[in-house]
Chains A and B, each alone.
Chain A
């Protein structure tokens, strides 16, 4: 599904601030793969997501999604195939627009081509939104006319997740999307994430700082350091791994201890 071959990116090239963010990273995800990513501070996890989503173009290498070369496709073009959630719950929704308007936007953009510029939301669509919202079990289905700015961070993140997956994308990028939420809400959003991804078999990449999550969620774990993948495990080998093993593996792959001030071992 997703095919990255030897992608590299250097910021501020030729200046004292030069930063090699990605160094010849290759990765192949099969359809339906759900991979978690852990790594040190500045290992390039977010840079990797930005490269895939198209926030910048890579210096070298190729990015393919669903068999199409998207290396130089602009960000907004890729976005019709890629759903993305940020750590900041405020980033994914428009605060002064109502829940219904936000959902309409997400819905209408994914049905682009089938609908014209002047298409509007009808009764049937509204009922569909309501049904989707009720699955979150947050009571949002009765608040569709309220501006999204009134919702809590957890509710906004759940709504963003719903909007990103209402029409399933080819690839879902989750950039620590539960890190800014309180533990109970984070658990809830994570639960919804699991359900949605499993239901639509969406190919997913998720950055996390929680080592247990890294092993429990999905079917594959990737560890990053210095701009490339140092350890990649799946299948039976992954099932038998403990958090200690994982740290050990990182040491072997990167030649140093996992250095991350936000890591959660328990």
Chain B
């Protein structure tokens, strides 16, 4: 049904979106905070990554984008832990502010192109001349980065600090009574989460080579959809399983979008398709419960009738 190129693009984007989904996994699933600064942070990652690449430092682009994301996460965390701003509002405030910051980073222009610059990906492309490598290098590089990050997150959440962060989202009373400062764990969690979002923004810039200021719009919805598809399919098992679920969820989401593209859904409707997927994904566990209850009722009534 899908051509090889379409599948390849879907997987590439899936790998990138996995990073954002992983970021939301940390803020939304683990810390129980809806971090709405994701959209702006994603664009920030692109803006910083592209600017650093254009300045002639293709390798520095990734850590720079991650650091920028972490700073944004720090501000969001600072607003909610120290200044008592409601967590959703803190995200919205930072998101609004980031719009101007992003324009500033991009040199007050609303789009930026890195077509002519040497990027991490063009350097990687030059590593080998085989046709296989030329066809697949983007996906391989992206998957490698994703793998490193997923392993890091899996490892991290088994350390003392990681366990503390997980407990903060699970039972904040317990955390306070366990000599852990919740303000600190929330800050660290949001910094890591937004660093991943920034990295994803940087990578999408490298792949698409040119992006504009609205790159991140709707990102939060897409990542949430991926996250929830993953959690619906893989349940709430161990951290490793859940992180794997997040990655698979992102790829499934991109495949659904690729099919929508194939079915010639007009591009103007894509946001609606995305919103529908999210709604269905979030509603599906509840829907399954409703069906189970109805079936139980039906069987009970049937049993009562037979007795009569």
Binding site for B on A (CB under 8 A): 53, 74-80, 84, 86, 90-97, 101-102, 104-106, 108-110, 112, 115-121
Query: Is the C-beta of B166 less than 8 angstroms from some C-beta in chain A?
Result: yes
**How far is A106 from B161 in the complex, measured between Cα atoms in Å?**
12
**How far is A93 from B167 in the complex, measured between Cα atoms in Å?**
9
**A76 x B182 contact (CB < 8 A):** yes
Contacts A/B (CB < 8 Å), 28 sampled: A53-B177, A76-B178, A79-B176, A90-B171, A91-B171, A91-B174, A92-B177, A94-B167, A94-B174, A97-B163, A101-B163, A102-B167, A105-B160, A105-B167, A106-B178, A108-B160, A109-B164, A112-B179, A115-B160, A116-B160, A117-B160, A118-B156, A118-B159, A118-B161, A119-B159, A119-B160, A120-B160, A121-B158
**A96 x B236 contact (CB < 8 A):** yes
Binding site for A on B (CB under 8 A): 156, 158-161, 163-164, 166-167, 170-171, 173-182, 236
| Across-interface contacts of A96 in B (CB, < 8 A) | 166, 170, 236
**How far is A106 from B179 in the complex, measured between Cα atoms in Å?**
9
| Across-interface contacts of B167 in A (CB, < 8 A) | 94, 97, 102, 105
Closest CB in chain B relative to A147 CB, distance in Å: 8
| Across-interface contacts of A119 in B (CB, < 8 A) | 159-160
With A104-B163, A119-B160 in contact, do A109 and B170 touch (Cβ < 8 Å)? no
**How far is A233 from B161 in the complex, measured between Cα atoms in Å?**
44
**How far is A217 from B304 in the complex, measured between Cα atoms in Å?**
56
Q: Among A77, A78, A93, A118, which residue has its beta carbon within 8 angstroms of that of B174?
A: A93
**A94 x B170 contact (CB < 8 A):** yes
With A108-B160, A119-B159 in contact, do A93 and B171 touch (Cβ < 8 Å)? yes
**How far is A105 from B180 in the complex, measured between Cα atoms in Å?**
10
| Across-interface contacts of A116 in B (CB, < 8 A) | 160
Q: Which residue of chain B has the shortest Cβ distance to A169 in the bound complex?
A: B179
| Across-interface contacts of B166 in A (CB, < 8 A) | 94, 96-97, 101
With A108-B160, A120-B158 in contact, do A97 and B179 touch (Cβ < 8 Å)? no
**A79 x B179 contact (CB < 8 A):** yes
**How far is A104 from B236 in the complex, measured between Cα atoms in Å?**
20
Q: Which 6 A-B pairs have the closest CB atoms?
A: A79-B179, A94-B170, A80-B179, A108-B160, A117-B161, A118-B159
Closest CB in chain B relative to A104 CB, distance in Å: 6
**A79 x B163 contact (CB < 8 A):** no
**B177 x A79 contact (CB < 8 A):** yes
| Across-interface contacts of A74 in B (CB, < 8 A) | 181
Closest CB in chain B relative to A83 CB, distance in Å: 8
**How far is A109 from B176 in the complex, measured between Cα atoms in Å?**
11
**How far is A262 from B173 in the complex, measured between Cα atoms in Å?**
25
**A120 x B179 contact (CB < 8 A):** no
| Across-interface contacts of B160 in A (CB, < 8 A) | 104-105, 108-109, 115-120
Chain B CB within 10 Å, residue with most, of A80, A94, A106, A116: A94
**How far is A121 from B158 in the complex, measured between Cα atoms in Å?**
8
**B176 x A75 contact (CB < 8 A):** yes
Closest CB in chain A relative to B179 CB, distance in Å: 4
**A109 x B180 contact (CB < 8 A):** yes
Q: Among B158, B170, B176, which residue has its beta carbon within 8 angstroms of that of A95?
A: B170
**How far is A90 from B177 in the complex, measured between Cα atoms in Å?**
13
Q: Which residue of chain B has the shortest Cβ distance to A78 in the bound complex?
A: B179
**A109 x B178 contact (CB < 8 A):** yes
11 further A-B pairs in the complex, CB-CB below 8 A; given A86-B173, A97-B166, A102-B167? A75-B177, A76-B178, A93-B174, A94-B174, A95-B171, A96-B170, A97-B163, A106-B178, A109-B180, A112-B179, A120-B160
| Across-interface contacts of A106 in B (CB, < 8 A) | 178
| Across-interface contacts of A110 in B (CB, < 8 A) | 179
| Across-interface contacts of B161 in A (CB, < 8 A) | 117-118
**How far is A77 from B176 in the complex, measured between Cα atoms in Å?**
9
Closest CB in chain A relative to B231 CB, distance in Å: 12
**A84 x B163 contact (CB < 8 A):** no
| Across-interface contacts of B178 in A (CB, < 8 A) | 76, 79, 105-106, 109
| Across-interface contacts of A97 in B (CB, < 8 A) | 163, 166-167, 170
**How far is A77 from B178 in the complex, measured between Cα atoms in Å?**
9
| Across-interface contacts of A120 in B (CB, < 8 A) | 158-160
| Across-interface contacts of B182 in A (CB, < 8 A) | 76
| Across-interface contacts of A93 in B (CB, < 8 A) | 171, 174
Q: Which residue of chain A has the shortest Cβ distance to B188 in the bound complex?
A: A117
Closest CB in chain A relative to B285 CB, distance in Å: 16
